[in-house]
Amino acid sequence: MAAVQAVEGRAPAWRGGFGRLWSAAVVSKFGDSLRTAAMPLLAATLTEDPVLVALVSAGGFLPWLLFGLLGGAVADRVDQRRAMWAVDLARGLLMAAFAVAVALGQASIALLIGVAFALTTLQTLFDNAATALLPSLVPAHALGSANARLMTGQQVAGTFLAAPLVPLLLVMGSSVPYAADALTYALAAALIASLRVPAPVRAPRPAGSTLRGDIAAGLKVLWADRRLRGLCTATTLCNIGVGGLVATLVLHVTGWLDAGQAGFAAAITAYGVGGVAGGAVAGRLAARFGRIRSVFLAGLAQTAALVVLGTVRELWAAVAAMAVFGLMGIVWNANQTTLVQERSPAEMLGRVSSAFRTLAVAGAPLGALLAGVAAAGWGLNAPALLAAALMASAVAALVPLIN
């Protein structure tokens, strides 16, 4: 098993494929941000029931429970580059069809849930393949920086490019953000297809090898690693809260804060700005405190931000809280992803990554449903306070890993 890097390495070179992978990730994130900002607003026009609005987000998480482990096992068996561009092409076609349905006035909550479910089902293969592909494009000492740069670029695309455009695109037509998302998938697929990465060389599989056995092997590696196991537990608790917050944030801002769509856009923009800052400091924090301690500090700051979000009924407080939450979210995610890549056997990275991600993401649909119920029963600020309590539990789970 690879040793954990104690010191953050140099930045990755843009040549050798990383630049194209970064460009594909940024282009795709731009389109996804258009869709994810527009879809809750579309859902809110179709129903006032917070549970149904939350179900749209739940539909986007549930496939990880059903297909996440399978996606990782497949990613370790196939050419990851080919799998990624094929998936993006399929997602582009799906979004184009959805844009047509919206343009024709055929959108419904059921359709939104179905589209979210289908997109995430395809994403289970794409994300695991991408995690496994990155170490073949950059040297080991640059993994942490590469992950931070990928996440920072995606935040810039979503915050400074996509988010301000959503209101303008919606004026042009309710289907325009989804049509734009379809085009970005097609462009990302072309960029990934152009990568010149040798097909992975793998040892012959033992006779009788099955996908079920491959999945079990990945889970075993994850469970045997104390740090990855503890980090996975903490991330799962965190994601229960975050899943609920994401599912109901539009109701929190437009309802509890009465800040309207402009307020919602401001909160999302603040989150993205914080994420950009997080990408800049993630490596520095890891170099000074180590990856686990960096995640621990990020969780503490996010807990405090969520308490402010759920108790201070002012838009400025929500904007500040979302900025801190976004900043520390990138610190958490960049160090978490790098730890998985550093501590997993290269030939099993897709499976270990999928095991970690599936278990972690499993909490999000539960959180979305709990948040919908909490918002309906105790007020639209209840999901933020629920998320704060769960984030505090996640921080507590990290304490034994610090030493």
Q: For the residues 295-305, what does the mean pLDDT come to?
A: 95
Average pLDDT, the chain: 85
Helix (H, G, I), strand (E, B) or coil at 135: helix
Out of 57-66, 154-163, 323-332, the most confident range is 323-332
How far, in Å, CA of 388 to CA of 370, rounded? 14
> pLDDT-based confidence at 301, cuts 50/70/90?
very high
Q: What is the pLDDT of residues 266-292, one digit of tens each?
A: 898 888 888 888 888 888 888 888 889
Query: In angstroms, how far is the first alpha carbon of the chain from the final one?
Result: 20
pLDDT of residue 207: 57
DSSP string, 215-271: HHHHHHHHHH-HHHHHHHHHHHHHHHHHHHHHHHHHHIIIIIS--HHHHHHHHHHHH
Q: How confident is the model at residue 155 (pLDDT cuts 50, 70, 90)?
A: confident
User: What does the pLDDT look like over 327-339, one tens digit per residue?
Assistant: 999 999 999 988 9
Query: Could you tell me the pLDDT band of residue 204, with boundaries at 50, 70 and 90?
Result: low
CA distance 246 to 248: 6
pTM, to two decimals: 0.76
- What pLDDT is stored for residue 3 in this prediction? 37
For range 225-250, the mean pLDDT? 90
The C-alpha atoms of residue 160 and residue 150 are separated, in whole angstroms, by: 16
Q: What is the CATH number of domain 18-196+212-401?
A: 1.20.1250.20
User: What is the rounded average pLDDT of the residues 149-172?
Assistant: 83
Closest CA to 275 of 336, 332, 335, 235: 332
Rounded distance between C-alpha atoms, residue 273 and residue 269, angstroms: 6
Q: What is the pLDDT of residue 310?
A: 92
Written as six digits, the tokens of 265 are 């856009």
Say if CB 355 and CB 198 are below 8 A apart.
no
Q: Which of 341, 221, 227, 241 is nearest to 292 (CA)?
A: 227
pLDDT band at residue 357, thresholds of 50, 70 and 90? confident
Instruction: Tell me what pLDDT residue 61 has.
Output: 67
Per-residue pLDDT tens digits for 369-386: 888 888 888 888 899 999
DSSP string covering 73-118, please? HHHTTS-HHHHHHHHHHHHHHHHHHHHHHHHTT---HHHHHHHHHH
Q: What is the pLDDT of residue 5?
A: 41
Give the residue-averaged pLDDT of 11-29. 81
342 and 4 Cβ atoms separated by less than 8 Å:
yes
Give the mean pLDDT of 216-237: 91
